[in-house]
């Protein structure tokens, strides 16, 4: 059985005051997490505050990106060991916003995957097609290429130490969720692609869905056999909404 994971990607949102309020709301409402694992990925500068508030709770935390380097003259970057210094468990890599606005390639994302593992972080590895790619009928080709890049660079066993997040780019922040059937179809394809290299890894690998997931659509997405949790953007900024999704994952 794969344990569901619900992770919040706060992106570049919040202030110290709003982060404190959100963390307090999460702490208060989380109760006993029985089935789902829960994590939040705040902007890096709020990670120390997150650690201070969430240590000892069932909620883990992580970064939104990391450098491929461990230290050195890389202005503005954050290294894996620095995230580990603040007890981050996870790090998001290859988010479509980084691929689009920061020119991250499949190869760089694969290097980040291995840098994350080297630091003892669990990568939440994002993949997904754009609307244009979906409409051209190349969704499977795109996600296969993205997954294969990590398998080629890191090996399938290392891929299995991370988590995949399937995030169709057209569903991110648009309010347009992939239907549970559309998402399940791609999730099953991703698992079958991994199975070509290792059926054991494919069977154990958690594949999250991301893209306008909300408390009112989470249950039907999470009921699909190959959807093992969610990577939540907008709805993770409100404690009640995020906790509503965690509850759906617990059912
Ligand atoms: P939204 O939930 O706001 O669509 O964002 C999804 C996402 O990009 C999570 O990484």
Give me the DSSP letters along 54-100: HTTSSEEEEES---SSSSSS-TT---HHHHHHTT--EEEES-HHHHH
Q: What is the pLDDT of residue 62?
A: 98
Residues of the chain scoring pLDDT < 70: 32-33
Confidence (pLDDT) at 36 = 86
Q: Which domains does the chain have, with CATH numbers?
A: 5-248 (3.20.20.70)
Whole-number Å distance, alpha carbon 95 to ligand 1 midpoint, is 10
Hey, is 5 helix, strand or coil? strand
How far separated are the first and last CA of the chain, in Å rounded? 14
Between the CA atoms of 127, 179, 138 and 209, what dihedral angle is there, to the nearest 10 degrees? 10
Whether the CB of 163 sits within 6 Å of ligand 1: no
pLDDT at residue number 52: 98
**Are the C-beta atoms of residues 238 and 21 closer than 8 Å to each other?**
no
The residues annotated as belonging to the active site are 95, 167
Q: Ligand 1 mean position to 231 CA, how many Å?
A: 7
> Which ligand 1 atom is at minimum distance from the Cα of 95?
10
pTM comes to 0.97
Cα–Cα distances in Å, from 139 out to 107, 120, 146, 181, 192? 19, 31, 11, 14, 14
**Rounded to the nearest whole angstrom, what is the distance from the C-alpha of residue 203 to the centroid of ligand 1?**
25
Neighbours of 203 (CB within 10 A): 12
Mutational pocket test of ligand 1: of 96, 211, 212, 217, the residue with most ligand atoms within 8 Å of the beta carbon: 211
Q: Are 210 and 230 in contact (CB under 8 A)?
A: yes
Q: What pLDDT digit, counting tens, does each position of 94-149 carry?
A: 999 999 999 999 999 999 999 999 999 999 999 999 999 999 999 999 999 999 99
């Amino acid at each position: 059985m794969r344990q569901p994971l619900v992770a919040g990607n706060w992106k570049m949102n919040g202030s110290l005051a709003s982060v404190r309020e959100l963390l307090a709301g999460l702490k208060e409402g989380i109760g006993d997490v029985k089935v789902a694992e829960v994590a939040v990925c705040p902007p890096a500068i709020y990670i120390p505050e997150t650690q201070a508030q969430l240590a000892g709770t069932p909620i883990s935390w992580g970064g939104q990106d990391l450098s491929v380097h461990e230290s050195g003259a890389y202005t503005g970057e954050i290294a894996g060991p620095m995230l580990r210094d603040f007890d981050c468990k996870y790090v998001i890599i290859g988010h479509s916003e980084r691929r689009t606005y920061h020119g991250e390639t499949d190869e760089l994302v694969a290097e980040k995957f291995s840098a994350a593992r080297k630091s003892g972080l669990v990568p939440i590895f994002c993949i997904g097609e754009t609307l244009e790619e979906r409409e051209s009928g190349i969704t499977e080709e795109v996600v296969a290429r993205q997954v294969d890049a990590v398998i080629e660079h890191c090996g399938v066993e290392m891929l299995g130490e991370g988590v995949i997040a399937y995030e169709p780019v057209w569903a991110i922040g648009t309010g347009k969720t992939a239907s549970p059937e559309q998402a399940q179809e791609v999730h099953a394809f991703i698992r079958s692609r991994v199975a070509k290299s290792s059926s054991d890894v494919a069977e154990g690998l958690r594949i999250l869905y991301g893209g306008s997931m909300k408390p009112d659509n989470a249950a039907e997405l999470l009921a699909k056999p190959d959807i093992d949790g969610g990577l939540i953007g907008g709805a993770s900024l409100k404690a009640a909404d995020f906790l509503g999704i965690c509850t759906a994952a617990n059912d």
